Amino acid sequence: MSLALNRENFVWHKLHSLAGIIPVGFYMLQHLTLNSFSLAGESQFNGVINFFGSIPWYILLAMEIALIWVPLVFHAGYGLLITNRADINVGHYKYAQNWMYTIQRYTGIFLFLFLILHVSMTTGNKYLHHDDGLIMYAAMQQMLSQWGHLLLFIYILGVATASYHLSFGVWNFCIRWGITISEEAQARVQRFSVWMFVVVTLLGWAALLGFFIHTPSAGAI
């Protein structure tokens, strides 16, 4: 099963779509859900960090590489190939599905850059210094407050972008894998994607809000 850089491949297309849902999409929902523990306060959020911190770092890193980063790098890399080869024609065909496809490509580019920033400032920084404290509640609050809260705005936009990319990726996945064949079935999943986008975005924004409604304990940073 070869991959030519000047064209897409049907099988690779399907694997790319699958990787975006399982495991990448599943991990994103789990990640936002656990981050929403910030709403409950510092101790609850730090409890999540401590749970993963109780796993030997080399085992956790190996799991992250195998289950998250390899599928994510494949999905992002092949997604950039698709975007480079895409024929953007919303100026000629202004169907809703055409716009959905186009926005899907642009959000993928933004997410590629956003994830580099996010990982370098959180997980990457943690592993570099072998210090879970760098992703604890107080540290996250301090990080999001940088640059006059510009970083917080970037995260707000990043969450919405990731939510859109995943939600409408579900619609695309169902079509590509032959789950929704009729127009009626595709329309139902499209409506589901709209609601999923709203719910997941609000979940992510709530997690960000949680870092600003509680005062960290003294000496936490």
Q: Is the pLDDT of residue 8 over 50?
A: yes
| Contact of 167 with 197, CB cutoff 8 Å | yes
pLDDT at 89 over 70: no
Predicted local distance difference test score (pLDDT) of residue 11 = 87
Q: What is the per-residue pLDDT for 158?
A: 97
> Percentage of residues in the chain with pLDDT exceeding 90?
76
Percentage, residues of the chain above pLDDT 70: 90
For residues 213 and 87, the model is more confident at: 213
Counted residue by residue, the chain has a size of: 221
10-88+99-210 CATH pick, 2.70.210.12, 3.40.50.2300, 1.10.260.40, 1.20.1300.10? 1.20.1300.10
User: Cα(17)–Cα(22) distance, rounded to whole angstroms?
Assistant: 9
pLDDT at 2: 43
More confident residue, 97 or 197: 197
DSSP string, 48-97: HHHHHHTS-HHHHHHHHIIIIIHHHHHHHHHHHHHHHH----TTT---HH
**CB–CB of 159/201 below 8 Å?**
yes
Q: What is the chain's alpha carbon radius of gyration, rounded to the nearest angstrom?
A: 19
User: How is residue 91 written in tokens?
Assistant: 């100026």
Each residue of 137-195: pLDDT tens digit?
A: 999 999 999 888 899 999 999 999 999 999 999 999 999 999 999 999 999 999 999 99
Query: What CA–CA distance (Å, rounded) separates 88 from 128?
Result: 40
Domain range annotation of the chain: 10-88+99-210
pLDDT at residue number 82: 84
Structure tokens at 19: 């990787």
- Going by pLDDT thresholds of 50, 70 and 90, the confidence category of residue 217 is confident
Residue 27: is its pLDDT beyond 70?
A: yes
Query: Which residue would you say has higher pLDDT here, 220 or 102?
Result: 102
Dihedrals phi, psi of 86, to nearest 5 degrees: -70, 145
pLDDT tens track for 50-81 = 999 999 999 999 999 999 999 999 999 999 88
Predicted confidence at residue 3, as pLDDT, reads: 46
What average pLDDT is seen over the chain?
Answer: 90
Q: HEC string of 144-199? A: HCHHHHHHHHHHHHHHHHHHHHHHHHHHHHHHHCCCCCCHHHHHHHHHHHHHHHHH
Predicted confidence (pLDDT) at residue 1 exceeds the cutoff of 60:
no
